[in-house]
Amino acid sequence: MYDPLHDKSPGCGVAYPSSYWAETSGQPPENDQALTQDINVDVAIIGAGYTGLSCALHLARNYGINATVLEANQTAWGCSGRNAGFILKSSGRKSYSQMQKQWGEEVMRGIYDEMSAGVATVNQLIAEGIDCQAQQPGYIKVAHKENKLQELVDLAKLQQKMFGYDVQVLSRDELHQQYMADQNAYGAIRYQDGYGINPLKLAWGYQKLARQAGAKIHCSSPVVNWQSTGNGHQLITPNGIVSAKKVVIATNGYTPKGFHPLVTNRTLPVLSQVIVTDALTEQQLAACNFLSSNVVMDTRALKYYYRKLPDNRILFGGRGAITGKSAEDPYYANRLLQVLKTSFPALQNINIAYAWSGWICMALDDLPHIYQNDSKDVFYSMGYCGSGVSFSVQAGKRLADKVAEAAVPDLPLYNCALPKFPLAPLRRVGQWGYFHYGKIKDTWF
């Protein structure tokens, strides 16, 4: 599998991975085909995931700027077509209490407002007619240990007090009786506004809207070389050169090695693994009391997440391999299946129907950053830390504002660069260490 820390390109025209989404969503909508000639544009966007598509859409709609999107493979070939489809009012991994401590209440509220705006924008775009199999609202965060339930209750209190956020506390019995009988759960909190969607269809919907608004989207057009002339940029693709006044890097966890100095050594791509089981029978659903299709995540440092899909399969995810070379080792999918079976012992005979993985993008400070170079002609947004389905759309919108030289809120999300990883060549060693620390923490503390 393509490994962004080792490879200089994600390929050209590579097919979607054989995920549940790619195999059950039908045909992708039309794009503008691979670039076959040299072109001049005002704005080029590299990467056709949610970030790039949202940036293109908002540039066209809000500023009349018709950008050209260059995608190496297929629309949403990266994370946007591989994720678990949880729409959550959050991004990054930094907690609100940490933000409050570091920056004070006003900044913390500003960040919360931006995360909320992300969900609102996704809701509005879906309401324009995107068929992405949105499920019943509800996001359940389960305590994987007794002491974690108190932490969740404290979090719920903070969010209720600070943001008036509607958070419900569920005892283990309430969770088991009203939602699902997860044997690894000691209770939970439940937000009313998270929900599950088909992530690939969501991206395809954005693509349609962006093209209708005037953007061009060229798949099978990887940027394999980039020359800055001092008076603009030349992006070299296999069959055409794009001369652009401004360039947006929307490649997130799929950013190739050494792609651009502005982002080099500022992210850590980490594999997240997903399995989708066979459809549960009525008896299996009843034995697990699986009443809900709410999206679920636990409190582990190395999180597990799951949801019941519209056809009664279970999607279950967690951490994957460390390197691209081992990404497809069935060990990682089977490990998830074993954990699923401990949560729902009635599923002892369930099989994996689909398994795949994708590169999420970690930031050193656990926060996404939307930033630019000093001459304000190269922009990026990345570092969603595995939680970007909704916020990447807000980030794309803010990128569009920046490209069009409009004001954006004065927040660490937008006014500072992604921090560099110290000892960057050793990032994977650090990741390996964190996985071991996480395992110990999740088991013993």
Ligand X SMILES: Cc1cc2nc3c(=O)[nH]c(=O)nc-3n(C[C@H](O)[C@H](O)[C@H](O)COP(=O)(O)OP(=O)(O)OC[C@H]3O[C@@H](n4cnc5c(N)ncnc54)[C@H](O)[C@@H]3O)c2cc1C
Long-range contacts of 337-343 (CB under 8 A, 24+ apart): 337/275, 337/277, 339/184, 339/304, 340/275, 340/277, 340/306, 340/314, 340/316, 342/183, 342/184, 343/182, 343/183, 343/184, 343/185, 343/306
CB 321 to ligand X: min, Å: 12
Neighbours of 282 (CB within 10 A): 8
CB 78, min distance to ligand X, A: 2
Q: How far is the CB of 282 from ligand X (least distance, A)?
A: 27
Compute the least distance from the CB of residue 88 to ligand X, in Å.
5
Which residues would be at the binding site for ligand X (CB under 6 A)?
9-10, 46-52, 70-73, 76-80, 82-86, 88, 222-223, 250-254, 256, 272, 274, 317, 358, 360, 384, 386-389, 392
For residue 317, what are the β-bridge partners?
274, 305
Which is nearer to ligand X, 238 or 438 (by Cβ)?
238
The residue among 202 and 346 lying less far from ligand X, judged by its C-beta, is 202
Determine phi and psi for 316, rounding to 5 degrees.
Answer: -135, 130
| Phi and psi torsions of 117, nearest 5° | -65, -35
Q: Where are the alpha helices (DSSP H) in 128-145?
A: none
Identity of the residue, 73 or 293, whose beta carbon is nearer to ligand X in the bound complex: 73
Q: Left (φ > 0), alpha (ψ -120 to 50) or beta: where does 405 sit?
A: left
Least Å distance, CB 438 to ligand X, is 17
Identity of the residue, 79 or 378, whose beta carbon is nearer to ligand X in the bound complex: 79
Q: From the CB of 293, what's the least distance to ligand X, in Å?
A: 14
SS3 category, 265: coil
Q: Which is nearer to ligand X, 130 or 346 (CB)?
A: 130
Asked if residues 247 and 377 have their Cβ atoms less than 8 Å apart, the reply is yes
In the complex with ligand X, the residue whose CB is nearer, 47 or 324, is 47
